[in-house]
Structure 1
Amino acid sequence: MSRVPDEMALLVADIYEAAGVLRRSGEALAAAEGQTQARWQLLSAVSDEPLPVARAARRLGVTRQGVQRIANDLARDGLADFRPNPDHRSSPLLGLTPQGRRVLEGITDRAAAAHRLLAAGIEPEEIAAARDLLRRVIGQVGRQWGE
């Protein structure tokens, strides 16, 4: 009898555990700059180019309504703003303000320092192999569940 299903079950459990630990650490990193992880993710999603809320939500894999609430909060706090969308007048673009860019850079700098600590003692090839395996698992799940 193959151990693969048992090992896969353990890998999935480890992935969920890692996701929880990383989510908590992400919340702590964002909190150090007065933000939440959800706000950090949205700031990051619109950092390269302003996006409509619906597209930002698709990029993040969450609901448009949740992203709209966070976008409104970011705009209220001066970290983002809504800009005219030349392609769709009723769907403005969400973009970063200079203050939002500074906050995002602060969180990103903290995250980079945390990542350096996480990677200490792990060879880059091991990290690459782990990433490759995770991408393969994600692909398998996507194909299985039609994503």
Structure 2
Amino acid sequence: MNDVRTEVEPRTAAGDVLTDIIMRTFRLYGGFLEAAEVMTKPVGLTAAWWQVLGAVMRQPLPVAGIAREMSLTRQSVQRIADLLVEKGLAEYVPNPAHKRAKLFRPTAAGWEAVSGLTRAQHAFTNRISAQVDLDDLRTTLKVMERLIEALDADQPPASDG
């Protein structure tokens, strides 16, 4: 019998805590996704549609830019973007910086649908945030931003091929 042993990276207290954070983040994401589905249904959206439309409420972006911003695959964003265009909630417009990568932006109907979520979103976030200290929320946001920076710095460079 072949005795192949692989060296295991030693555990650290920080690594164990980060593992717990990751597991809680999965649970938190699931809860937020469920809440988003409830909020979006009355305005004819889904949580995924809201996520993609939300990425372009400030400025139009190419699909690849939305995917990068949201840490989603370009293909999944493309599928949702095409569906939103088909439903009349968004449109593709020429991109002066790139001939083939059109910009994606909401239509008036898309703006209206997302705007219709504002009241439900504020009610939800106010209800949940009232149960957590404001300073704790601010600290959580800072830590999440630092973890995102660390993740980004840990990624291998993109290949040009």
Structure 1 length-normalised TM: 0.83
Q: Which residue of 1 aligns with 2:78?
A: 68
The alignment of Structure 1 onto Structure 2 pairs a total of residues equal to: 146
How has the CA–CA distance of structure 1 residues 3 and 31 changed in structure 2, closer, same or farther, with 3 Å as cutoff?
A: same
CA distance in structure 1 between the partners assigned to 2:14 and 2:96 by the alignment:
52
Aligned to 1:122: 132
Question: Aligned partner of 2:122: which letter?
Answer: A
Counterpart Cα distance in 2 of 1:3 and 1:88:
47
Matched with 2:58 is 48
Greater relative contact order (Cα < 8 A, sep 6+): 1
Aligned match of 1:99: 109
Q: Tell me, in whole angstroms, the C-alpha distance in 1 between the residues paired with 2:93 and 2:49.
A: 19
Matched AA of 1:47: M
Flag the structure with larger Rg: 2
Identical-pair percentage: 29
How far apart are the structure 2 equivalents of 1:28 and 1:9? Answer: 29
User: Is there any run of 5+ residues in structure 1 with no aligned partner, and where?
Assistant: none
TM-score (norm 2): 0.77
What is residue 82 of structure 1 aligned with on the other side? 92
Cα distance in structure 2, aligned partners of 1:85 and 1:123: 43
Give the whole-Å Cα distance in 2 for the aligned partners of 1:51 and 1:9.
33
The gaps in structure 2 that reach 5 residues or longer are: 1-11
